[in-house]
Amino acid sequence: MVHTRRKPREDEDLEPELLAEDAIPVSDPFMLFDEWLAEAKANEINDPTAMALATASPGCAPSVRMVLLKGHGSDLGPGGGFVFYTNQASRKASEIAANPQAALLFHWKSLRRQIRIEGQLEPVSTEEADKYFASRARDSQLGAHASDQSAPLADRREFLDRFEEVRKRYEGKHVPRPQHWGGYRLVPQAIEFWHDRPFRLHERRRFTRAGSNWASTLLYP
């Protein structure tokens, strides 16, 4: 099968439209993120909050996986942040403990946009983790107790049996947050917005933290 790139329409505008300074203040990347995320939620069919999380081991071996954004904003602690939750006995958590530098990537294919975020991860408070865990579906709460995330599994039946045991244990009871389950906040040092343009004439704007403010610049595609 021969794959070809999308051909632009004759009337398609090659000029910037979504990163114009008169449309979104370029001094605040969180405002621009809110704008793009809202459009993704209105247009993406599945998981518009899905993001790739890249971490690295102490030996600099990289790994990446998809997680879900569960909170974001400039008001989430000093420097703002982007929050996700996970089993803290998992591979990602062990890598974060040894090397908290990480990167996130949102890719909304239908909108032809990406957002890259780089920074340092720190744990959310136990109060935040408790509050979010309580909001999860009950089966998701039970699964957090049943799973030894990233550990070897002999067969799927073993996991399903553990899930059933946990379900019976908490039948008719409140499901507490496991001690090994919590969240992380990535405090951004750089945020880059990428918008596809015809003929690879893409538009990119990168924000970098400058003290309590942000500096921004356009980048060549």
Scored b (16 or more CB within 10 A) or e, 95-105 reads bbeebbebbbb
CA 134 to chain CA centroid, nearest Å: 20
What is the number of other CB atoms lying within 10 angstroms of the CB of residue 152? 5
Least Cα distance to 219 among 184, 181, 190 occurs for 190
The response to whether 136 counts as a known ligand-binding position is: yes
Q: Has 65 been labeled as part of a binding site?
A: yes
201 is in an annotated binding site: yes
Short-list 112, 109, 107, 104, CA closest to 195: 112
- Tell me whether residue 217 is annotated as binding: no
List active site positions: 200
C-beta separation of 67 from 54 below 8 A: no
Q: Is 91 annotated as a binding residue?
A: yes
Distance CA 180, CA 88 (A): 5
70 in a known ligand binding site: yes
The reply, when asked if residue 69 is annotated as ligand binding, is yes
The phi, psi pair for 135, rounded to 5°, reads -85, -10
Taking Cα atoms as reference points, which of 57, 38, 32, 44 lies closest to residue 117? Answer: 32
Instruction: Say if residue 168 carries a ligand binding annotation.
Output: no
Say whether 132 counts as a known binding-site residue. Answer: yes
| 66 known member of a binding site | yes
- In the annotated binding site for FMN, the residues are 65-70, 85-86, 91-92, 114, 149-150, 194, 204
- In the annotated binding site for substrate, the residues are 70, 132, 136, 140, 200-202
- In the annotated binding site, the residues are 65-70, 85-86, 91-92, 114, 132, 136, 140, 149-150, 194, 200-202, 204
